[in-house]
Amino acid sequence: MEDATGVLTILHDISFELAPRESVSIVGASGSGKSTLLSILAGLDVPSSGRVVVAGTDLFSLDEDARAALRARQMGFVFQSFQLLSHLNALENVMLPLELMGRTDARAAATEMLRRVGLGERLSHYPCVLSGGEQQRVALARAFVVRPALLLADEPTGSLDFATGEKVMELMFELNREVGTTLVLVTHDSAIAARCDRQLRIEAGRLVPEAAQAPQGSQPTQAPVQALSAGSA
Ligand SMILES: Nc1ncnc2c1ncn2[C@@H]1O[C@H](COP(=O)(O)OP(=O)(O)O)[C@@H](O)[C@H]1O
Ligand SMILES: [Mg+2]
């Protein structure tokens, strides 16, 4: 919607908290603002107003470099389009976030994570020779290898066939439990959404109060992420 100032407001009055280790799905029609919300949670898009507090730190109180450093330490990303670097092989793709953090054990840790996702025999393969499901498993390995506090996944099965998508989702939930990551999952698939602890529905940039809320006892005691009252230009 365009207001008198010509600003396009995509998200309005969205506020929620995420507890450590919980999984939350974000559902809503195409164009409702799901990807924009994930970008803001990641600090990649800057909202015109509002805050995102990650483990006590307000993302937008940091400068770009500090925000990038926090993102590298605390967040993993999985996208519909995999987003692997085509000139790096599977192992190098997974090593990259560790190397950027200065980890000297990058090779060993990346190798172990690729084994964990069933790609121990594919270490030196480039993305172009991997199937979609294999590429997404490399992307999962890359996302989880830093043991992030928060994993943001945007339609991670959107370009996979049903059976492959199911396997990738299964793996994502397993890693979520093993690593203790908080998982925010954007999906069109209501069956996948229902497997998360909680569902958030967005309609035209607004959060719809859900009838089915978090079960008793799983309410956050401390919040690693608080978001947000955002408009995004
Ligand atoms: N960079 C941008 N500039 C202008 N409008 C955008 C931009 N990115 C997204 N939008 C608009 O914001 C709305 C929400 O988009 P998006 O967050 O991608 O929705 P979803 O992921 O739910 O499909 C859409 O109307 C889209 O056209
Ligand atoms: Mg989207």
CB atoms within 10 A of CB 14: 21
Q: Using the 8-state DSSP alphabet, how is residue 173 labeled?
A: H
Ligand 1 nearest-atom number relative to CA 29: 22
What pLDDT shows up at residue 209? 76
Strand (E) or helix (H) holding 98? helix 90-100
Ligand 1 binding site (Cβ under 6 Å of any ligand atom): 8, 10, 28, 30-36
The ligand minimizing its distance to the Cα of 10 is: 1
Q: For residue 228, is the peptide bond before it cis, meaning its omega torsion is within 30 degrees of 0?
A: yes
Q: For residue 59, is the peptide bond before it cis, meaning its omega torsion is within 30 degrees of 0?
A: no
Which residue's CA is the nearest one to ligand 1's atom 3?
A: 233
β-bridge pairing 57-58 and 52-54: antiparallel
Which residue ranges of the chain lie beneath pLDDT 70? 1-7, 210-233
Report pLDDT digits (tens) over 182-194. 999 999 888 899 9
The model's pTM is 0.86
Ligand 1 nearest-atom number relative to CA 155: 21
Rounded to the nearest whole angstrom, what is the distance from the C-alpha of residue 129 to the centroid of ligand 2? 27
Q: How far apart are CA 60 and CA 47, in angstroms?
A: 9
